[in-house]
Structure 1
Amino acid sequence: ALTSQDPDAGLEVFRMLKERFLTLPHLRTNPLPKYACPFEEQPETQPEIPKLLRAYLTVGAQICGPPALDKAFGTIDFLTLLDLSKLSARTLRRYF
């Protein structure tokens, strides 16, 4: 999760990740309208991908679609999918 409530930052991270890390079409999701990040303009700075999300992507996780605003926790969240059957034995031993 991004520790932000700036929808533009969430959408910019999505743009950065979608070419390499977006799931297959039949696995994609969209946030419900009340949680969607409305697009307004290009952010002035490039947001940083959170460490935990980077770690998941490094071991093969994919994002399922655009981010969702989580107002209760003050974050922007990405639904993330990790196929455990595709992880290397080394990664499985290390994390599971």
Structure 2
Amino acid sequence: MELISMDFLSRDRLSECTMQTPPELAIGSEDPGDALLSAVLALPETLRQPMYLYYYEKFNTLEIAEVLQIEPVNVRNRMSRARKKLNIMLGKKVGALRDGRRK
């Protein structure tokens, strides 16, 4: 797999159309996807990168670990922390986030 630059995920490198509206404004939006994307983009970089790659770029945890050069367990831990933050930020607006595990 080709390694990609993570610069595209740094907050200051994201295009204006990707950034959309700030999470506090998007929460009032009718589209829960807008609020979720804005909230994901508002996360600290270490939490934003795995979430964006997993949910929006459809990478699996092993691919994310390779790209970020961290252990897969760290990817899962970061995603768990990010989901908790997103649930606090968005409350019941978006509902429970899928954690990627099979039940």
Please give the TM-score of this superposition, normalised by the length of structure 2.
Answer: 0.29
Richer in helix (by share): 2
